[in-house]
């Protein structure tokens, strides 16, 4: 045994105690210097339904101050993907900010059938809170169905709630889910008759004066004007013909062609709601975000704030006009200018080099299948009436009752446990027989039982994506995967939701303080964004995060 001299031990213990005593003035200065290395503001930008190729297709039309500035002076992950199914708005926003997939955060779709409540529930809906800023139910929203924390939540905890978080989007779910559980505020656009920004009692009892002032102004109404292309439409060579059979357009206008008189069309298209389906919906978001930046003093002290912005009009327009439309090209050209306006305001109000920003999307979109068919690419539409008829006949013939199926939605079949027990049917056997039936349908590519997805170990393929999107308490008993570009949708416009590249491949760009300049073609899952921002801030990771920090982008 080695004996330590008592005098040495005493000195060592005193030294250890000193190390645990309050820091000196010099040490405090050093700690403050480290603390101030963090950005004053983190800005998260989600562009709803933005495919990665919109960055490259429309590149020549972009200014130097928007997308190109972010790419040239930031870090561009060119092979960024959603690593789960389904690729919808609610799960997308939740995954981006929690750093994990629906399997863990619980937002399995925009709306889903709740097996315990026996009804459909909305990802952000909450009847226990009240609307703020409107008499309608449009404000009854909160993040309570998201069961894990976001990186803004962890930043709030880290700063003892001194760092602010504000979420802003035309869509309620695009504001509520990114802002997280501890947000100071989340605001979304009501549209309809008012065109106002609203919130819920989850965040506040009354709208701040600056929001009321914004709502009283004509900032929104001013966009009810003629919408024409930003540049000569003849130069829009990166998209299809303006007049075609693949777009819906607006009620009251015979063709989906430029120009659009929005003021005249508004009464037949939800009044102020019409702005959602135009580039001006994005302009409204920028206007409101800049008002929040100034009036909430974001990025003005040593405690990092988070501003979560979601541009949703790109999604509304993609659904309406389709991936290859002149309208979609125009919305991205104009969004580029909105980003330029936002970046210049951040430079002015927070200071260039004082903020960190990331830009990504919540999902991509498929080319309009009816268009793909004209150019010889396999695609098609699902006849839901025919499928329902065939399936109910199968259920009655095979099991003696259609009631063993409680619900079919989101490409999942939910079985009625009580009915199965009454008929003395084995759950696993029923699931297997249903899977064997559904795989025979023409539009179906693959079918899996929930048990096989939940309990098996997969290394690659669609099975891995399904597993990451499968929540044991919330997902269904049988999962269906349709053939590529086969959708249940109208024959005009685009949609999304699959695990195919057109839905999973999205931009991921980091920019600003603490970010290296560069790019990579390495595969980057979107769940790595939140841990990367957490690592940059030095905070705990979101509590359910399964992604990893992208060390190679950090300066």
Yes or no: say if 473 and 490 are a contact pair by the CB < 8 Å rule: no
Question: CA–CA separation, 372 vs 529, rounded Å?
Answer: 33
The predicted model scores a pTM of 0.93
Residue 538, pLDDT score:
97
Helices (H), 99-241: 102-105, 151-158, 172-179, 209-216
The confidence score (pLDDT) of residue 253 equals 98
Give the model's pLDDT for residue 37: 84
* Active-site annotation holds for 89: yes
In Å, how far from its chain's centre is CA 252? 32
Residue keyed to tokens 């999942």: 412
- Residues forming a β-bridge with 360: 46, 508
CA distance 19 to 478: 59
- What is the set of domains in the chain, with CATH numbers? 41-373+499-553 (3.40.720.10), 383-442+444-482 (3.30.1360.150)
Name the one residue in this structure whose structure tokens are 């929005």.
262
pLDDT at position 24: 43
In the numeric block, which tokens belong to residue 329?
């090209």
Q: Cα(365)–Cα(49) distance, rounded to whole angstroms?
A: 6
CA-CA distance, 478 to 487, in Å (whole number)?
18
Q: Cβ distance 129 to 201 under 8 Å?
A: yes
* Per-residue pLDDT at 6: 40
Annotated catalytic residue, options 28, 56, 87, 89: 89
> Which stretches of the chain score pLDDT less than 70?
1-36
Q: Nearest to residue 142, comparing CAs of 154, 156, 127, 153?
A: 127
**Three-state DSSP state, 523:** strand
pLDDT in tens, 56-110: 999 999 999 999 999 999 999 999 999 999 999 999 999 999 999 999 999 999 9
For residue 382, which of 441, 439, 324, 437 has the smallest C-alpha distance?
Answer: 441
Query: Which is nearest to 271 in space by CA: 237, 305, 223?
Result: 223
| Rounded CA separation 523/516 (Å) | 18
CB 524, CB 530: distance < 8 Å: no
- How does DSSP classify residue 274? G
């Amino acid at each position: 045994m080695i004996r330590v001299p008592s005098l040495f031990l005493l000195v060592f213990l005193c030294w250890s105690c000193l190390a645990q005593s309050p820091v000196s003035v010099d040490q405090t200065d050093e700690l403050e210097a480290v603390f101030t290395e963090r950005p004053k503001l983190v800005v998260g930008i989600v562009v709803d339904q933005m495919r990665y190729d919109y960055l490259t297709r429309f590149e020549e039309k972009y200014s130097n101050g928007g997308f190109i500035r972010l790419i040239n002076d930031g870090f561009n992950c060119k092979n960024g993907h959603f690593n789960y199914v389904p690729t919808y708005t609610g799960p997308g926003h939740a995954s981006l900010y929690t750093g994990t997939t629906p399997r863990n955060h619980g937002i399995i779709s925009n709306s889903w059938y709740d097996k315990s409540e026996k009804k459909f529930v909305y990802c952000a809906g909450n009847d226990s809170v009240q609307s703020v800023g409107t008499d309608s139910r449009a404000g009854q929203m909160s993040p309570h169905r998201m069961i894990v924390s976001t990186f803004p939540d962890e930043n709030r905890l880290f700063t003892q709630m001194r760092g602010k978080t504000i979420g802003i989007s035309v869509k309620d779910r695009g504001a509520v889910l990114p802002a997280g559980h501890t947000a100071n505020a989340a605001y979304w656009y009501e549209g309809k008759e008012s065109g106002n920004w609203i919130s819920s009692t989850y965040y506040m009892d009354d709208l701040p004066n600056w929001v009321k002032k914004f709502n009283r102004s004509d900032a929104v109404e001013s966009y009810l004007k003629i919408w024409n292309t930003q540049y000569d439409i003849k130069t829009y060579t990166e998209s299809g013909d303006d007049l075609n059979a693949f777009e819906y357009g607006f009620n009251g206008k015979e063709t989906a062609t430029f120009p659009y008189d929005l003021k005249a069309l508004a009464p037949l298209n939800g009044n102020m709601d019409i702005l959602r389906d135009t580039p001006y919906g994005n302009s409204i978001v920028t206007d409101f975000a800049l008002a929040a930046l100034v009036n909430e003093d974001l990025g003005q002290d040593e405690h990092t704030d988070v501003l979560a912005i979601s541009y949703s009009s790109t999604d509304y327009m993609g659904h309406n006009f389709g991936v290859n439309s002149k309208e979609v090209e125009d919305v991205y050209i104009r969004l580029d200018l909105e980003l330029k306006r936002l970046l210049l305001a951040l430079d002015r109000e927070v200071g260039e080099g004082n903020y960190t920003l990331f830009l990504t999307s919540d999902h991509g979109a498929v080319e309009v299948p009816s268009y793909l068919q004209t150019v010889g690419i396999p695609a098609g539409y699902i006849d839901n009436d025919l499928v329902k008829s065939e399936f109910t006949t199968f259920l009655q013939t095979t099991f003696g009752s259609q009631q063993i199926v409680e619900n079919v939605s989101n490409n999942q079949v939910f079985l009625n446990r009580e009915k199965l027990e009454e008929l003395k049917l084995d759950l696993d056997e029923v699931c297997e027989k249903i899977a064997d039936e559904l795989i025979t349908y023409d539009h179906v590519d693959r079918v899996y039982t929930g048990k096989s997805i939940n309990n098996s170990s997969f290394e690659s393929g669609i099975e891995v994506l399904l597993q990451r999107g499968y929540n044991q308490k919330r997902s269904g008993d049988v999962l269906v995967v349709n053939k590529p570009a086969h959708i249940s949708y109208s024959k005009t416009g685009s949609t999304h939701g699959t695990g195919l590249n057109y839905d999973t491949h999205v931009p991921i760009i980091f920019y600003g303080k603490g970010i290296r300049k560069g790019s990579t073609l390495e595969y980057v899952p979107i769940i790595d964004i939140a841990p990367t921002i957490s690592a940059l801030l030095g905070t705990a990771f979101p509590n359910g995060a399964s992604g990893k920090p992208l060390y190679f982008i950090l300066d």
